[in-house]
Amino acid sequence: MNLPLNDSDYVNRLLARSRCGDPQREADARLELEQWVAVSDDNRRCYEAQRQTVIALDASLDSLRQRYPRHLAPASAAQAPALAVRTPRRGWAWPTWSSALVLLLGVGLTLWWVNPVLSQGEYVTGLGEHREVSLSDGSRVQLNTNTHLDFVRRLRSREVQLVQGEALFEVTHQANIPFEVTSLDTRVRVLGTVFNVRQWQEGNQVTVLEGRVRVTPDHEADSLQITRGQQLRTRHGLFVDGIRDVDATQAVSWRDGRLVFSGETLAEAVTELQRYRSGRIRIHDSKLGALRISGSFSLAKPDELLHLLPELFALNLVINPDQSVDIRAR
């Protein structure tokens, strides 16, 4: 049997069959689910995400039944009379099934309109820390240094609030359930992708590694769509500089534990390095700040770059007891 990979629709169909009331069909569906889950970790995460959705929906229905007991009776109570009644004419059974259908539609529309929370989580990293997490919908997120994000999974939406920092998202596709990241005054709507969002100079920097996203700042009339190898920056709810072509792997080199520079100014390099160490780094000469630097440096040893600077340029570097750093011309 050729089994699809990481397919939430396929899992939902099997879950529905596993609760259909036919013992043989239920057993077949459970066996097929077990085989599918065993294929890969991605399948297991996808299954668990859909199973949690079913559990949450059941809980939401129970809550609604408690609030509206006269209108939303349990399914077993609603169906029992229809099974017990012996009707001389075929038409007699129609009102019962019609009422059940209206009931189901009403519950479904109520849940869709309310958009209840199915699960939520909070994820944080400290200074210099890198962490990878799996969200309840099966998506994966890598958090860079000093990052805080909140995730809320609802019935018909998935919502991330990037409170601070930087995160790389690998989003699990779910038809008709959008995935949106809000950071400061900018919203990023996923259109099936791997992408990075970083809070940057009172704004945001969005970089796409795979697929595409739609970026909408609060104070722009229109949104912009970017694809693989493209980047957008926003500040104060407005676009900055338009769409840029970039080396996306360099933009997220931090996920591999590296800082990579390709002709950035020393001032820019120091600003980036500052994100990974506690002591302040001060450049006391603007001409030094304008020097250009290239290379790849380990984030496990953030001071490695600092110790190399006197060998690369005509400058003196002093690391103080409080770990602050002063850089001056010779």
- Phi then psi for 321, rounded to 5 degrees? -55, -30
Is residue 85 predicted with pLDDT exceeding 80?
Answer: no
Do 91 and 127 lie in a common domain?
Answer: no
pLDDT band at 68 (very low <50, low <70, confident <90, very high): low
The CATH number of whichever domain residue 286 belongs to comes to 3.55.50.30
93 domain-assigned: yes
Do 110 and 22 lie in a common domain?
Answer: yes
Task: Check residue 25 and give its pLDDT.
Answer: 82
Compute the mean pLDDT over every residue in the chain, rounded to the nearest whole number: 83
The CATH number of whichever domain residue 174 belongs to comes to 2.60.120.1440
pLDDT band at 66 (very low <50, low <70, confident <90, very high): low
- Collapse the DSSP code of 206 into the 3-class scheme (helix H, G, I; strand E, B; otherwise coil) and give the result: strand
Do 122 and 234 lie in a common domain?
Answer: yes
Give me the sign of the Cα torsion angle 142, 147, 153, 158: negative
Q: What is the pLDDT of residues 276-296, one digit of tens each?
A: 999 999 999 999 999 999 999
Neighbour count for residue 304 (Cβ, 10 Å): 14
Is residue 83 predicted with pLDDT exceeding 70?
Answer: no
pLDDT band at 18 (very low <50, low <70, confident <90, very high): confident
199 domain-assigned: yes
Do 87 and 189 lie in a common domain?
Answer: no
Nearest Cα to 134, choosing from 115, 162, 116, 153?
153
Q: Which residues contact 242 (CB under 8 A, 6 or more apart)?
A: 232
Do 89 and 168 lie in a common domain?
Answer: no
Compute the distance between CA of residue 121 and CA of residue 116 in angstroms, rounded to an integer. Answer: 15
231 domain-assigned: yes
Do 264 and 215 lie in a common domain?
Answer: no
Final residue in a domain of this structure, among 88, 114, 140:
114
Do 54 and 125 lie in a common domain?
Answer: no
Do 294 and 211 lie in a common domain?
Answer: no
Final residue in a domain of this structure, among 219, 250, 281:
250
3 domain-assigned: no
Contact 231, 239 (CB under 8 A): no
Is residue 33 predicted with pLDDT exceeding 50?
Answer: yes
Task: Check residue 96 and give its pLDDT.
Answer: 44
Instruction: Determine which of 54-58, 227-231, 300-304 has the lowest per-residue pLDDT on average.
Output: 54-58
290 domain-assigned: yes
pLDDT band at 1 (very low <50, low <70, confident <90, very high): low
pLDDT band at 272 (very low <50, low <70, confident <90, very high): very high
155 domain-assigned: yes
Number of domains in the chain: 3
Task: Check residue 80 and give its pLDDT.
Answer: 33
Final residue in a domain of this structure, among 81, 114, 147:
114
**Percent of the chain at pLDDT exceeding 90:** 55
Give the CA distances from residue 85 to residues 80, 94, 95, in Å, rounded to whole numbers and listed in that order: 9, 12, 12
Task: Check residue 265 and give its pLDDT.
Answer: 96
Do 109 and 122 lie in a common domain?
Answer: no
Average pLDDT over residues 169-195: 91
Q: What is the DSSP string of 243-279?
A: EEE--HHHHTGGGGTEEEEEEEEHHHHHHHHHTT-SS
2 domain-assigned: no
Across the chain, which distance is largest between two alpha carbons, in Å? 104
Do 129 and 232 lie in a common domain?
Answer: yes
Do 53 and 136 lie in a common domain?
Answer: no
Domain containing residue 226: 117-250
Burial zone of 61 (CB within 10 Å; 0-12 exposed, 13-18 middle, 19+ buried): middle
**Confidence (pTM):** 0.68
67 domain-assigned: yes
Average pLDDT over residues 67-85: 44
Do 109 and 121 lie in a common domain?
Answer: no
